[in-house]
Amino acid sequence: MRGRESWLLSKRIWLIKYGDPPALLVLRILCSCYPISSLVLFLMYCADVGKPYQEKLVDLRKELTEKKTSGMVVSMLDEVAWLFNLRGSDIDYNPVFFAYALVTHDSATLYIDEKKLTKEVKDHLKDVKTAPYGDIFGHIKFLGEAIDADKVSGKIFVSNKCSWALTLSLGENKVTEGRSPVQDAKAVKNDVEQEGMRQCHIRDGTALVKYFAWLEQELLSGRRIDEVEAADQLEKFRRYNFI
């Protein structure tokens, strides 16, 4: 079980929970234990997100240059989705999909089940290499072997939320760990994203007004409404406004 949890836990959380284990135990990753969805991805067009993924990669590489690192493993699902302007439905109620990304100064690779990639998505990712989801561990192990651990520069950047299995695959002394620059960039909304949020609030406000009007009419008519019915009706109004 602990070998599998190394997929999910950062080094800090692992040490708090288990202490310092043998590396072999951590690196025993059992891919078959986690069935991966094959639901296809869909695009977020530039008109909706305000910035093509190619520009996001340029910005990320500038950050990696400032950090004197040779690349970054992107492991947080929301960061992968944001970086490549893609969305999925592998996790209920979350628009994300199972994938990793490896971004260096001259290439970007998306590790994903290729069954998820429609022709439209493949055309969208024309500047990105793709590889099977589980291949990242072998690829970054090979990458880590070429890194000089004694040098401060040239290491691979990983988020402080990155799983320990990924860190150990690279080599603990071959990584630079810190706050994800993708997370920071994602938090700064551009003009298109800000306007999208405004429009969402307008639509949601309209749904709430319709709901309050419905609720007032029902109560004035003498109907008794429980919390479940009230919540279901509000969801109906919201669904109608967001379709």
In this structure, the answer to whether residues 107 and 155 fall within a common structural domain is yes
In this structure, the answer to whether residues 102 and 221 fall within a common structural domain is no
Task: Give the tens place of pLDDT for each residue, 140-190.
Answer: 999 999 999 888 899 999 999 998 889 999 998 999 999 999 999 999 999
Which string of DSSP letters, residue by residue, matches 73-114?
Answer: EE--HHHHHHHTTEE--SBTTB---S-EEEEESS-EEEE--G
In this structure, the answer to whether residues 124 and 164 fall within a common structural domain is yes
As a whole number of Å, the CA-based R_g of the chain is 22
In this structure, the answer to whether residues 115 and 234 fall within a common structural domain is no
| pLDDT-based confidence at residue 38 (cuts at 50, 70, 90) | confident
Which of 187, 219, 234 is the last residue in one of the domains? 187
In this structure, the answer to whether residues 211 and 129 fall within a common structural domain is no
Residue 202 predicted with pLDDT over 90: yes
In this structure, the answer to whether residues 152 and 89 fall within a common structural domain is yes
Domain count, the chain: 2
| pLDDT-based confidence at residue 18 (cuts at 50, 70, 90) | low
Q: Which two three-digit tokens encode residue 159?
A: 């988020």
Please report, for the domain that includes residue 164, its CATH number: 3.40.350.10
- Helix, coil or strand: residue 69: strand
pLDDT at 36: 67
| pLDDT-based confidence at residue 22 (cuts at 50, 70, 90) | very low
In this structure, the answer to whether residues 209 and 150 fall within a common structural domain is no
Q: Does residue 130 belong to any structural domain of this protein?
A: yes
Task: Give the tens place of pLDDT for each residue, 85-141.
Answer: 999 999 988 999 999 999 999 999 999 999 999 999 999 999 999 999 999 999 999
**Full domain range(s) for residue 215:** 191-242
